[in-house]
Amino acid sequence: MYRLIWTEIEGSLTQNTKIDCYLTQHTKEIRINPILDNARKIWESMYRREQKSSHVVMEASLWNNLQVRIDNNLFKWGKWVNKGYYRIGDLFNEGKLLEFKKMQNKYQLTNEEWYRYIQLRSCLTKVPGIGISTQEKAQFMQVLEQIKGTAHIASKIYNFLINGFTLGVKTLQNIWCSDLNMELDEEEWLTLMRGMYKPLREAKLRLMQFKIINKIYWTPAKMHIVKLRSTKTCWNCDREDGDLIHMFWNCNQVKVFWKKVLKFCSKVLDREVPVDESLCLLHKNPWDIESDTHKDNFLWLILAIATAKRVICRHWKDKSGPNFTEWQKTLVEVAEYERTIYKLRDKLSTYEEIWEPFLSHLEGSVQQINGNED
């Protein structure tokens, strides 16, 4: 079977070692390779952010390790590598260095390796904190373990590097449940996450919702934390702390805007749409009915709500706040985009069922305004 050339290069470089073990080595092939060298530097910087050393943890490489030296020299013993010694953790059991006899039995070392064992034991005892099996793993290592095998790993890692907090599903669930003062079990949360983006076909709307759910937006409060702003007060009201929940929901001007939007949505759908933050921020379904009509109503409602959040983002720094008329005009643009998609799929009848109530109410509102002006 044909193999890509870079997979052969990676395999030859990291054979017999895991990536976390390999990145703690200080070798020429890593230093001269810009990709590997940069990856190693990021790896080390992530440990430093948590005031830890990547070179003394149990997963670190035993060989060519900057903290493990004999006579101040880096070393790598081929015989030991061939026997299965790769990580510092391979030499320890419950925080204690293995006796030579146990190492012989486990890895079939010969008696001639006794002298090297003495050298290794001498240098390891001089390194503070090395081999402590009870030490807590670095936060980003816990994140990597949590997201292993899941979808969108690269984006989750990128988000963690930007924000510096755990992106595990459970932690994200706890954060939002605490922020919105609600209770959701794990299954409810996973269902919510799986359906959150489905109605959003436009890439910008999907990206916006991703930034909201992962709290990526640079709010006044967040900018204040990293010293990019002298205060953390909201740009609009200039009174409350401008965190993400405030900017998208709690600010007085934003709340007035949401009430107008949801009141109009209630008229369009001919059913009560609650003024609820879990609906507007997390797209939590406010209804229990599962009919086709209900699904169409909910699809349109989420598009309307996502468009409202787009308008809020546009006017974060405006004292006047988000504008209801602008929301209607922007939603018309979304309707045109949706119509194109439905037309390409030969489903214009479905489009009309979903969007006709909105377009009819919008036309009626315009006629009423024109009548009042006359």
Summarize pLDDT for 219-236 with one digit per residue, the tens.
Answer: 999 999 888 899 999 998
Helix, coil or strand: residue 73: strand
pLDDT top residue among 245 and 197: 245
Summarised one tens digit per residue, pLDDT across range 11-51 is 444 444 556 666 777 776 666 677 777 777 777 777 777 67
Say what the pLDDT of residue 315 is: 92
The residue ranges of every structural domain in the chain are 5-124, 168-373
- Grouping H, G, I as helix, E, B as strand and the rest as coil, residue 233 is strand
Give me the pLDDT at residue 84, please: 81
pLDDT at 8 over 70: no
The C-alpha angle with vertex 121 and arms to 117 and 124, in degrees rounded to 5, equals 135
pLDDT per position as a tens digit, 115-166: 888 988 888 888 877 766 445 667 777 777 777 777 777 777 766 665 554 3
DSSP H or E stretch at residue 93: strand 92-93
Assess whether pLDDT exceeds 80 at residue 289: no
Q: What would you report as the CA-atom Rg of the chain, rounded to the nearest whole angstrom?
A: 29
Reported confidence tier of residue 272, pLDDT bands at 50, 70, 90: very high
Residue 374 banded pLDDT, cuts 50, 70, 90 = very low
Contact 17, 27 (CB under 8 A): no
- pLDDT at residue 10, rounded to an integer: 47
Kindly list the distances between the CA atom of residue 362 and the CA atoms of 105, 258, 265, 287, 301, in Å, as whole numbers in the listed order: 81, 17, 11, 24, 15
61-65 average pLDDT score: 84
Query: How far is residue 329's CA from residue 350's CA, in Å, rounded to a whole number?
Result: 22
Pairing relation of β-strands 96-97 and 92-93? Answer: antiparallel
**For residue 327, what are the CA distances in angstroms to 180, 209, 234, 334?**
25, 17, 21, 10
What is the distance in angstroms between the CA of the first residue and the CA of the last residue of the chain? 77
Query: CA-CA distances (angstroms) from residue 146 to 50, 96, 172, 223?
Result: 18, 28, 12, 28
Instruction: Give pLDDT, residue 174.
Output: 86
3-state secondary structure of 97: strand
Could you report the per-residue pLDDT of 91-117, keeping only the tens digit for each? 888 778 888 888 888 888 888 888 888
More confident of the two residues 196 and 51: 196
Q: The tokens of 222 are what? A: 């967040």
Q: Amino acid identity, residue 154?
A: A
Give CA–CA dist 285/194, Å, rounded.
13
Nearest residue to 9 via CA among 26, 22, 20, 24: 22
Average pLDDT over residues 274-291: 86
What pLDDT band is residue 170 in, cutting at 50, 70 and 90? low
Q: Which of 61-70, 84-93, 141-150, 269-278 has the highest mean pLDDT?
A: 269-278
pLDDT band at residue 370 using 50, 70 and 90 as cut-offs: very low
Name residue 108's amino acid: Q
pLDDT over threshold 80, residue 276: yes
> Shortest CA distance to 6 belongs to which of 31, 35, 27?
35
Dist. CA 365–CA 205, nearest whole Å: 26
Task: Quote the pLDDT of residue 269.
Answer: 93
Residue 371, pLDDT > 60, answer: no
- Residue partners of 250: CB distance under 8 A and separation at least 6: 240
pLDDT, residue 243, reads: 94
Please state, rounded to an integer, the average pLDDT across all residues of the chain. Answer: 81
Instruction: Look at residues 327, 334, 325 and name the one whose alpha carbon lies nearest to residue 311.
Output: 327
Q: Could you tell me which of 79, 51, 62 has the C-alpha nearest to residue 25?
A: 62
pLDDT at 73 over 50: yes
- What confidence tens digit (pLDDT) does each residue in 290-317 have? 665 678 889 999 999 999 999 999 998 8
Give the rounded percent of residues in the chain with a pLDDT score beyond 70. Answer: 82
**Helices 292-314, 203-213: inter-axial angle, 10-degree rounding:** 80
Predicted model pTM: 0.58
Residue 369 has pLDDT above 50, yes or no: no
pLDDT of residue 333: 94
